[in-house]
Amino acid sequence: MRSQVVIIGGGPSGLLLGHLLHRRGIDTVVLERRTRAHVLSRIRAGILEQGLVKLMREAGLSARLEREAITHDGTCIASDGEEFRIDFKALTGVPVVVYGQTEVTRDLYDAREAADAPIHFEVEDVEILDVEGTRPHVTFRQGETQHRIDCDFVAGCDGFHGVSRQTIPVARRREFEKVYPFGWLGVLSETPPIHHELIYANSPRGFALCSMRNAALSRYYIQCPLSDTPDDWPDQMFWGELRRRLPAEHAETLVIGPSVEKSIAPLRSFVCEPMRWGRLFLCGDAAHIVPPTGAKGLNTAASDVHYLYHALMEHYEDGEDAGLDAYSERALARVWKAERFSWWMTNMLHRFPEQTGFDLRIQRAELAFLRDNSDAQAAMAQNYVGLPY
């Protein structure tokens, strides 16, 4: 087989890159180790920056998103039983939108299928070869059959545990990581949202987040120990703890119901440098991970897609490689700003096991400064709705 670009990973970043390139007449093959049903079963983030919305529009795939997405002009932050609001629209001129990552991925799968563009599911033993040389290629096994795809470039969109980052020699890559000493217990329930916008809550009992997928599907999170399992949290116990972490006016109006999905996600920050090795380019979780605080994971992957898509387009259409040469530096510059913002929000809103009385007073002062200072609110709003590409 032969393709101009081989994309490792059939999640949203790989699919979006593939469809954007397809619309420019650039051949791609997508390799995914799971099934389509498995990928679509993952419950992930639902807050989209305007940059990602524009990419979906550029890909010709924004119709359902714009029809069904919920626009959020701001968000609420609660602390010590009180609440204040950050007005994104007033401070930046743009909102964010709520549209689940699963729905983004579904739209992208449907588009790739409609375009009859090749995608191979349940691939194993993927190897990325000769990306430093002149004949890059990818080999993989599907069932009992061994395959080889010759290509010009490889886009590694296969997540933290994928083969792409591991292809870069250990001596040539630097990895930066911060692991947080708690996780998020997330519950999806077929209940109306508690509020028309998100509520981020700092409480003496730990962090809580009230989110949503649509008018009848809510997503709630509470900070919990990493040693916990979902079985440690029966529904009644979860709802009771969530209420205790929210201001009274919201706790009283919370509509509860059976959980549809329940899981615990650890929190960590991770960055790999560089994001390019020869003709291999890392994209999304293959290169970086952020805590979910601030909803930057999918959105930061989208900025990688933007840089790589435009660089490949310039290569094939104009014969220019400046974008490819600058890809890692450009992507990482924005990645580290997203990492800083997620780290800042996580530290401001969570309770840490080793916090002293001094630490708690500093945290309280940080929240009070954000509440009272318009410049601080503007800085948060600019980061939350998404820094420019």
pLDDT at 6 over 80: yes
222 and 301 belong to one structural domain: no
The arithmetic mean of pLDDT across residues 184-189, rounded, is: 97
173 and 234 belong to one structural domain: no
- Residue 340: what are its φ and ψ, rounded to 5°? -60, -45
pLDDT digits (tens, 9 = 90+) for 289-323: 999 999 999 999 999 999 999 999 999 999 999 99
256 and 278 belong to one structural domain: no
Strands 82-87 and 74-79: antiparallel
Model pLDDT, residue 207: 98
Q: What is the pTM of this model?
A: 0.97
Amino acid present at 54 = K
pLDDT at 119 over 90: yes
Model pLDDT, residue 45: 73
d(CA 251, CA 199): 12
25 and 60 belong to one structural domain: yes
When divided into structural domains, the chain yields a total of 2
pLDDT at 80 over 90: no
128 and 192 belong to one structural domain: no
Determine how many CB atoms are found less than 10 A away from the CB of residue 152: 16
Collapsing DSSP states into helix, strand and coil, what is residue 90?
helix
Q: Is residue 291 part of a domain?
A: yes
According to DSSP, residue 69 is labeled P
Tell me the average pLDDT of the chain.
97
pLDDT digits (tens, 9 = 90+) for 219-266: 999 999 999 999 999 999 999 999 999 999 999 999 999 999 999 999
Q: Is residue 76 part of a domain?
A: no
Q: Is residue 90 part of a domain?
A: no
Q: Is residue 79 part of a domain?
A: no
- CATH number (domain holding residue 235): 3.30.9.10
- Written as one string, the DSSP assignment of 303-318 is HHHHHHHHHHHHHHHH
pLDDT grade for 145, boundaries at 50, 70 and 90: very high
199 and 307 belong to one structural domain: no
The arithmetic mean of pLDDT across residues 371-386, rounded, is: 98
195 and 206 belong to one structural domain: yes
244 and 132 belong to one structural domain: no
Q: Is residue 232 part of a domain?
A: yes
Preceding omega of 274 cis (within 30 degrees of 0): yes
The arithmetic mean of pLDDT across residues 319-342, rounded, is: 98
* 77, two tokens: 């932050």
Q: Is residue 78 part of a domain?
A: no
Q: Is residue 321 part of a domain?
A: yes
pLDDT grade for 44, boundaries at 50, 70 and 90: confident
Q: Is residue 83 part of a domain?
A: no
323 and 237 belong to one structural domain: no
106 and 145 belong to one structural domain: yes
Model pLDDT, residue 169: 98
- CATH number (domain holding residue 124): 3.50.50.60
Determine how many CB atoms are found less than 10 A away from the CB of residue 175: 11
Handedness of CA 328, 305, 51, 161 (dihedral sign): negative
- Written as one string, the DSSP assignment of 122-140 is S-EEEEEE-TTSS--EEEE
Continuous segment of H or E residues that includes residue 91: helix 88-92
| Spatial CA neighbour of 242 closest among 280, 272, 201 | 201
The arithmetic mean of pLDDT across residues 359-378, rounded, is: 98
The parent domain of residue 303 ranges over 5-71+95-177+268-346
Determine how many CB atoms are found less than 10 A away from the CB of residue 331: 27
Catalytic residues: 72, 200, 292, 296, 384
Determine how many CB atoms are found less than 10 A away from the CB of residue 104: 26
CA distances from 198 to 83, 179, 223, 294, 382 (A): 12, 25, 16, 11, 17
244 and 280 belong to one structural domain: no
pLDDT grade for 388, boundaries at 50, 70 and 90: very high
d(CA 132, CA 286): 19
286 and 253 belong to one structural domain: no
Cβ-proximal residues to 366 (8 Å cutoff; 6+ apart), any chain: 348
The arithmetic mean of pLDDT across residues 6-35, rounded, is: 98
